[in-house]
Each structure stands twice: as structure tokens, then as C-alpha cells.
Amino acid sequence: MLMDKIADLRAGVAPGRRLLGLDLGRKTIGLGLSDVTWTVASPLGTIARRRLAEDLADLLAEVDRQQAGGLVVGLPIGLDGREGPRCQSVRQFVRDLLKLRDLPVAFFDERLSTAAVERMLVDEVDMSRRRRRQVVDKLAAAYILQGALDLLRRPAG
């Protein structure tokens, strides 16, 4: 079920279940995983994109493997606040996923998440471009998920 707000995940996900964060790229799907207390997000891995049916099957297998109770999906909103073709593609992917399994899913604005992770990898870790390509998607997924977790911890108001 698609949640209108990140806060709606609290009611939709069973207690003690983790959240899986997704950064849907053209070539890979980055995965981040929360702890059961929804405090910390960690990079999990990536799924190489192939055909839609295979991507969905791989993702659902990871949901089962990690016993994830819900998903936080990065939504690539433009810097001007508008939703373009990439947002439409992400939304369609989620609609296709929800046809296969009813999971609590919330979108989270991922503006600049990949850029922030890339900058950190260059400035703080001094990682090579080739190595960055291997890790940026899973780190971006964890970054997106951590933003959602931080928002969930704020007092309602």
C-alpha cells in the first residue's frame, strides 16, 4: 500500500520489522537497510537492472531475505521541485511492485542524495572514480533511508 507520508509507515509496518531503502537507478537498484529500531540505515548492496520482471523478483527476494516490513523509495524530484520523467518511472516501478505484493511503501525526496554521497566519497574518503561507481548506489539508498528515519524520529507537530 502506498503511504501518503513517511510518518504513515509507523502504522503500516509491523513492530520489529526493518525498512528497506531504494535508490532506483537506470543500471542498478541501490539498497539500504534499517535496524529494527528504525534508528540507523546501512548500505546493503545493489541489484543489477535487467528486465522489469526480474528486477521486481530480485527486489522481493531481498525483501524476504531481510524480513523488511516496508520500503522507502527515493523519488528523484528536480531541483525546481517538479516531477519529471524519472519520477514517473520510479512511481510506475512501485505500482508494478505493488501489483505483485502489498507492502507499505513511502516515497522520500532524494534530491542531491547521489551528489552528496559522491562528494563525501571524493572529499572525505578520496575514493577512485571506478570504486565510487561500485558503491554509490547502495550508499545513496542508505542516505535516503537515513533521511526518512531521521524524519520519523522527529516529534509530530
Asked whether the predicted pLDDT for residue 119 surpasses 90, the reply is no
Q: How many domains does the chain have?
A: 1
- Note the pLDDT tens digit of each residue in 69-118: 999 999 998 878 888 899 999 999 999 999 999 999 999 988 765 556 55
More confident residue, 6 or 135: 6
- 24 inside domain: yes
C-alpha torsion sign, points 52, 2, 140, 19: negative
Tell me if the pTM is above 0.85. yes
**Cα separation, 128 vs 39, whole angstroms:** 30
CATH value at residue 45: 3.30.420.140
- 30 inside domain: yes
- Domain range for residue 104? 6-152
- Note the pLDDT tens digit of each residue in 29-78: 999 999 999 999 999 999 999 999 999 999 999 999 999 999 999 999 88
- 80 inside domain: yes
